[in-house]
Structure 1
Amino acid sequence: MPRPSGSSTTLLLLLLAVLLVRGANAGSLEGDAAALADFRLAADRSGALATWNASASPSPCGWRGVTCAGGRVTRLVLEGLGLSGADALPALARLDGLRVLSLKGNHLSGAVPDLSPVQGLKLLFLSRNALSGAIPPSLGKLYRLYRLDLSSNNLSGVVPPELARLDRLLTLRLDSNRLTGGVDGIALPRLQDLNVSHNLLAGRIPVAMAGFPAEAFGGNAGLCGAPLPPCKEEVQNASPCPPAAAMAASSPSSKPPDGKGKMSRGVVAAIVAADFAVVGLVAGLLFCYFWPRLSGRRSDRRHREGEKIVYSSSPYGAAGVVAAAGGTYERGKMVFLEDAGGRRFELEELLRASAEMLGKGGCGTAYKAVLDDGSVVAVKRLRDAAPAAASTKKDFEHHMAVLGRLHHPNIVPLNAYYYARDEKLLVYEFMRNGSLFSLLHGNRGPGRTPLDWAARMRIAAGAARGLAYIHHASRRGGLTPKLAHGNIKSTNILLDRSGEARLADCGLAQLGTSSPAASSAGYRAPEAPAPASRPWASQKGDVYALGVVLLELLTGRCPGSELPNGGVVAELPRWVQSVVREEWTSEVFDLELMKDKGIEEEMVAMLQLALSCAASAPDQRPKVGYVVRMIDEVRACGDPQASSPSHGSSMDESSGVSDSPAVSEGGAASQ
């Protein structure tokens, strides 16, 4: 297959081809039509598939329930149509281009056929039929399978251990059958939805499956172990030590022959209660005596540690050292920008605040600071880079005034700054919900709440709108050079308390304070100069970085992440293109998105948009206003309510934002 030229038309054709076709020699549409005709002949006794004939539609792609792509049948969805017959299903094994097969709610009987020829099958739904016999071990060969539902049939026999090969499986429903044996073989690593209830299963539930609810195993009298009651041998082996009174009562040497001196149960209970009361009283007295001293020491220690954080360790650098020493070194002052939100304060109060480092980036170090009244702000201490030191105070103040006028619901507002010769601090609203990076990549193990498709699209739309507003501010304000963000990446896309995406570190790259952090390398456009040569930011470079973020949302991978084969994703756009050329597009997408049904077309459209943004040539990248419109159109396909901007700005044709500046709603996450 030739390498994509980069044009959107060629790319879209490539994506659709590799998404739904396994190869040129994998069969033909004529063969698919013949297989469907055989299925209809064996299953359609009620005439529900009357449109399946050449006179009504010469191509099977126009038949009821049939979907084609790339010249092959890829989806067959025939639910609740009264289809029946014991010999109908084997014909479908010839549809080797099939990705989705759903025959729920019919009356099909017979055995589940060998579907191993359909190697690309991702979703298989055969529930609520009359299928019988054993589950075929050949299902274990469908290694691309994400969802398998065989519930509410008459299946019998054991659950085949071959199902353990389906390491991509997210859903497994085998409930309401007559299956026997244990469930040890289906403790799959990625399984999110499991139901084996109402069968004849027996044995201990594996520890790896204990996290599923009890309802997933109910109706199996022979199953035991968490989350169901413990197995009998566990109860018998528990053998707790008998109380001393019972031991004495059972000892022949301690039992008086005439029964005298034997204590009643009430006396024993009274003695035990008295013992507990005495122990509780002593513990209470000790607590009252020692707690004030311990708490006082802890308070003093915390106070001293707080002072050490602010003054000795000086998270805010020279400003903290000067405040601690009371020296006469050059002092600046806190400058609050016009229309800045939040409470105003002096530098000394900021230096007294408890500081918690949030992270280091190319522009400097970020801290969470809790002020005297409990309000929280984010403080960015800019790097002491040589270009920054060479910037004059007038240049710095002018740039801060420009950034202070950026008020938009998708931008973290700059409220104040501090300038001194050796220290520069920026004060922002604090975003409590963290960054897109932590939400998308943090805690990928068990217990994680996946970021669903709707949330990812909302974040993508918010980030694009914020960037469009920044770019539009240049045209509206006549700025030269044009204002660019300069450091778009997932760690700089924060979420406010309502879940809206906000861009952080806007415009700081043009101050000359940024340095080539390892986490930023994968977001730099190919035309960017060598990281150490000079400060650089451009609007075309912003669009490239936004394209990388969109790919990050789609793939669940970030630049620099490790691959299962031991490799590393150096450049995310190049990795995606290589997988698309060599495999099929669904291999690119994040497995966590597989739980969202019916979004395949939206994902392919977003993948095309992301790759166009991340084109190697700058002139092939779209303007960010176009990106905003395309994201809104894709969202409208899935949810008509989601297409309009959440803050109601009319979109400018070239910039993607309204000509009048949007007003920030303020305080979204600072309090």
Structure 2
Amino acid sequence: MNGRKSLIFFFAVLHFGVLIKLSLCLSPDGLSLLSLKSAVDQYSDGHEAFSDWNDNDTTPCRWTGISCTNVSGFSDPRVVGISIVGRNLRGYIPSELGSLAYLRRLNLHNNNFFGSLPSQLFNATSLHSIFLYGNNLSGSLPPSICELPGLQNLDLSNNSLSGPIPNELKSCKQLQRLILAKNKFSGEIPTGIWAEMQYLVQLDLSDNDLNGSIPEDIGNLSSLSSTLNLSANHLSGKLPESLGNLAVTVSFDLRDNNFSGEIPQTGSFANQGPTAFLKNPLLCGFPLQKTCRDSKAESPKSSPKAENRTRKGLSSGLIILVSFADAAGVAFLGIVIVFVYWKKKGNSNGCSCTGKSKLGGNQKTQLCVCPCVCCKGFKNEDSEMEDGENAEGGKGGEGGELVAIDKRFTFELDELLRASAYVLGKSGFGIVYKVVLGNGIPVAVRRLGEGGDQQRYKEFVAEVQTIGKIKHPNIVRLRAYYWAPDEKLLISDFISNGNLASALRGRNGKPSTSLSWPTRLKIAKGAARGLAYLHECSPRKFVHGDIKPSNILLDNEFQSYISDFGLNRLISIAGVNNPSSSGGFIGGGLPYPKSVQTERVHSYRAPEARIPSNKPTQKWDVYSFGVVLLELLTGKSAEISPSTSTSVEVPDLVRLSRKGFEEGKPLSDMVDPMLLQAVHATKEVLALFHVALACTEADPEARPRLKNVSENIGRIGT
């Protein structure tokens, strides 16, 4: 009997000792985290991911994937973040994580977690960001998820969640991003909940089994500024006109559903491209090529009885007579339309979106009123045509000839040869000089190189004349050109204050101290206006193809100018030989220096632009401009130095910016420290961040048009 008591006493002491050891070694937060390690180790080898998760530690704050912070009232730091991503971990999400009272961010995306979301997880009431996309979670979405008072980001996409979307989501009043794409949610999209979500920026319910119509109150999402993606479901009915109330920056994706009727032409609908509505056979109207009259023509045929009544009511002779009268009426109407068209074309006050028209003879610039609304709001600085668009230019022979695109901008070739010249920079598009003419006016002269035959000359002239028609306050004007077999020059306006790259990073590696927040916002607005004009109003709806800070020039007032558009095509047409390494300047006025710094390899290209076979699109420019905006906001460079002296590359600015928002980092940790002085501009900085992130979406179709980008930036700070 005594032996038995001794044994019981021994085990009690042993158990008590183990508890004392654990209490001395590991905090309660650490014990809760070990449940996650245990839940994974049962089903897969998580040794690598949890190799330093040691129960002998006093705190979990040094463990991989764990972040902590000090909390008043506690001697030990508390766990605020869990981030273990892309490790192919197989296991379930333990309910014990709900005991982490100060957990703010749970990031376990791109693993293989299975099972349902435990409702106890939402006992961690400090959670504001949950990123569990790319797993194999199943079951329904717990209604208790919105008991988290500060939930801002919820991304459960690419799982196997099912059941209806709960009405309780209306309690998620702080939610900014709701992404439930690529699951098995079914039923109708709940109505009456969306007006409660005053901060929702992005809504993605695509690739599910949802049916029914789009709720009218989705149009009440006044803060939505990124994407509304309802594609690849079984939704039907007419598109509610209330969606037109959404911000013009919102990109719709309503593809692959069963919507019917005419696409509304109000508000945000007018800013969507045709891809937003594809694979809806019963939809019609702009921007689809299917008119609604075509749809009516495809409606079910009338009954045989009705056809018989028609045959009986009209004789064949009468039918022929009516048809002949209709044809004559249509022909007469066509003649009238053609007459009116040519009469208006001859009118000096005619309007065109190509820049070929007068915009008014008085000092006040009139707005272009024509079907192409792209001209509206853009001023043409010239009161009449003076670009010599019908001029044949030089003959392109041995001597060559200097041809002025702007006839008011006249000077002789000899004057250009005698003028003082200074090197501004060198790139793959040739060397650029500042040349001061005899009248004291500075111009920028770009030497492309040598090569090209007579046939190329004609194509070159046509292309130069097209570029020369571009007239906008935020685009560098091309004024003249010179062609000869051994020389090809482009003469444009000289912009006096360098470029955005130098302003951000400094000519000597020191950033400019004058780039305040209002200045940066001014630069962004001007550049956006210039690019939007190129995309929407230029003669060929240009794609720039090389947007980066060094191609955004600045004057002394920090007005921005888009430069270098069309150069790739010009060099290709001209067939020049190595434009950046040719001989001396024309007339021998200034030799090319051997030490001109070449531009660094840049990381402004969109993901799809890095595939050689792809042709440039306007969405490439949108992405590149988004990266430029991120540079303006963060002060960090997106460029990668070509130097081989170090293996450390500049981090991907887009990835880091998105990660910062996903993890809920404070804005002060992401923006340029110089912007922190403008405390009043926090909302403006955040608004521009949202625009930049929308521009840099990986999916080109999710990116807004630059017209929308310009309009959205234009509203910031006003």
TM-score (ref. length: structure 1): 0.42
Name the structure, 1 or 2, with higher relative contact order (CA <8 Å, separation 6+). Answer: 1
